[in-house]
Chains A and B, each alone.
Chain A
Amino acid sequence: MTLIAKNITYRPDEEFHLNDISFEMNKGELYTLLGRTLSGKTTLLKTIAGLQPFDSGVLLYDDQRFDKLPVWQRNVAMVYQQFINYPHLTVYENIAFPLKQRKLAARSIDEQVRQSIKTVGLGGFENRKIHELSGGQQQRVALARSFAKKARIMLLDEPLVNLDYKLREQLRDEFKNLFSAELSSESILIYSSTDPLEAMQLNGHTIVMDEGRILQHSTAKDVFENPATIKVAEITNDPVMNTMRGSISEQEIVINSDFKLKLPDHFKNLSPGSYIFGIRAAELTIHENGIPFTLEFSEISGSETFLHLENNGVSLVALMEDLVAIDAHQKLMIDINVDQMYAFDMECQLVKSPFQE
């Protein structure tokens, strides 16, 4: 155990910015904070960095009170979603800044800076000023500065969100390799993101946050396969998981009188009664033996199509893996893959997922 938070709460006004946050993090591992905008991710990162005070709770690092240390003695690194660098310095000086601040020998500073510049692929840009770089390059500088520091804790606050689509894809792929190569066994890396795909790709421990609370803390795979609540399922799925109220009775899933589904094997042991059923958009297909839905509208996103469907007050979104051009207000027969269905109780807690034994 290295970094431990115990019941950290921060409530500057009526709303909780951090609500009873507790976790344990180990050296040499990667943690992804997954949550929507304003879910408290940035506040938590700033709290760990020491930039943000909190009302109650304890933050420990190696059994020492970390929250009693001022920011400049904590030896953390932070990469912001805005590309924060020192505009009056060159790329080289930017990366050397924290090392000079720590009064390291000139020789080892030079070595570490050159190493970091190479790692993030900014060779040849050493003497450029920051404003002469593109957004992606600026973010690489910020990243290189964090790597060069060899900080105890590296905090990355949605580092890709302000980049354009292509660059984001490219950097995300690089991140995975960078992190596995550069993350020393001595430091903790905390990466915040709104994008579930990013969390899956980085494949570290995943902490799902909402309204300042930690909803679930597990591996990326587990959070995706077994979301603890409907809220977690919403946050970890893009597009969000479809939910519909219904009940289980007599070997059937009953949504309404016209909308019944075969009971899948993994639901066999569930007692009859009311549930909220969840199904991912990708598990819906157009099939002649399906259930009739009306297409409200369709949207094309990249190489995928989202179909917004409606049946007697039940609204679902289906994800098609290709471009489908269908006129709105048409009847479509939709097959639902019940083997991938989730069951939540009426308090929105997970009862049964297709991945549970």
Chain B
Amino acid sequence: MKSLYYIIKYAFITLWSVFVISPFLWALSTSFKNANAVTGGATYIPWLQFQPTMEGWRVLVKSGGQGGIDIIAPYINSIVVTGSASVISLIFGTLAAYALSRFTFKAGFIKNNDITFFFISQRIMPPIVLSIPFFIMLGKFGLLDSLPGLVIVYVALLMPIAVWIMVDFFNGVPREIDETALIDGCNPFQAFYKVVLPNSLPGLIVAFLFCIIFGWNDFFFAFVLTFTKVQLIPVAIVALNSSVTPWWSLSASALVSVAPLVIIAFIVERYLSKGNLSGAIK
């Protein structure tokens, strides 16, 4: 009975792994193929079935005039915009979340839960509704097609995620820990950053990961709010799509664009299981 359970378990895990990993492998192999190898039926084994070529990868670093897309500038832009927007969102989102979790706010019928919902509600609206006011506002301030403008918009989009995740996390941290810190001579802000924050590492990591993923993968706002000067990765990749779809360079650019997320996920995953609150409270 038990061995059957293991067989089923590992069968599912294997199936799922294949499902998740095979697109990556396929993209990796496609990125080294030339046009003939892509269009002339499925080929799998390099050197035997097709001759690997670096052409797909070379397109990424060629400038636009030479038929490439020059992915390096958008890459740096994406890192700057996503990185700074995520960090800003996390800092202010965490502060807001702590306040919402620990203090009582009341303005008429509006209470803590309503404020939390207000944050989340920003993500309920379809992006297209937000795009027009964003466009007009950035235009008024002369921030269209600029890095600061994108960072501001992305903070507005990512902070609700950070607030949402961190409110939930702080609600799970026993209040008695804050109280003990106050009793031990911390003022409320010290209690927050000396005691609560170090114990919230798992929550911070999850919130940061979500911010990075949402920010990095966003196409819509990157497309609407930029023209020529500032391009982000998702927009730059779409520029590859001309009359003939260059599957090889699309694959290469897709791999390049997910690489940072994969690396961050691997680094951060270790801390997720490590930090825990056991021992704070029985």
A residues within 8 Å of B by Cβ? 46, 49-51, 70-78, 80, 82-88, 97-98, 101-102, 129-133, 135, 138, 145, 149, 162
User: Is there contact, CB below 8 Å, between B279 and A87?
Assistant: yes
User: Is there contact, CB below 8 Å, between A72 and B182?
Assistant: yes
Nearest 10 interchain pairs by C-beta: A131-B279, A130-B279, A101-B185, A98-B184, A71-B182, A88-B198, A131-B278, A87-B280, A87-B279, A84-B176
User: Is there contact, CB below 8 Å, between A72 and B187?
Assistant: yes
Closest approach, in angstroms, between the C-beta of A336 and any C-beta of chain B? 43
- The answer, among B182, B185, B277, for a CB contact under 8 Å with A51, is B182
Compute how far the CA of A73 lies from the CA of B184 in the bound complex, rounded to whole angstroms.
Answer: 9
Interface string of B180-200 (1 = CB under 8 A from A): 111111110010000100110
Closest approach, in angstroms, between the C-beta of A91 and any C-beta of chain B? 11
The residue among A72, A132, A162 with the most chain B CB atoms within 10 A of its own CB is: A72
User: Is there contact, CB below 8 Å, between B280 and A130?
Assistant: yes
User: Is there contact, CB below 8 Å, between A86 and B195?
Assistant: yes
B residues within 8 Å of A by Cβ? 174, 176-177, 179-187, 190, 195, 198-199, 275-282
User: Is there contact, CB below 8 Å, between B184 and A70?
Assistant: no
Compute how far the CA of A76 lies from the CA of B184 in the bound complex, rounded to whole angstroms.
Answer: 8
Apart from A84-B174, A131-B276, what are 8 other A-B pairs with CB-CB below 8 Å? A46-B179, A49-B183, A84-B177, A86-B280, A87-B199, A88-B195, A98-B184, A130-B280
- The answer, among B174, B184, B276, for a CB contact under 8 Å with A149, is B184
User: Is there contact, CB below 8 Å, between A135 and B282?
Assistant: yes
Residue ID in chain B nearest A46 by CB atoms = B179
Compute how far the CA of A25 lies from the CA of B184 in the bound complex, rounded to whole angstroms.
Answer: 22
Compute how far the CA of A76 lies from the CA of B282 in the bound complex, rounded to whole angstroms.
Answer: 23
Residue ID in chain A nearest B275 by CB atoms = A88
Taking A131-B278, A135-B282 as contacts, is the C-beta distance between A84 and B180 under 8 angstroms? yes
User: Is there contact, CB below 8 Å, between A162 and B282?
Assistant: yes
Contacts of B181 in A (CB 8 A): 86
User: Is there contact, CB below 8 Å, between B277 and A87?
Assistant: yes
Closest approach, in angstroms, between the C-beta of A318 and any C-beta of chain B? 36
Contacts of A77 in B (CB 8 A): 183-184
Compute how far the CA of A145 lies from the CA of B181 in the bound complex, rounded to whole angstroms.
Answer: 12
User: Is there contact, CB below 8 Å, between A145 and B177?
Assistant: no
Contacts of B198 in A (CB 8 A): 88
User: Is there contact, CB below 8 Å, between A129 and B279?
Assistant: yes
Closest approach, in angstroms, between the C-beta of B226 and any C-beta of chain A? 42
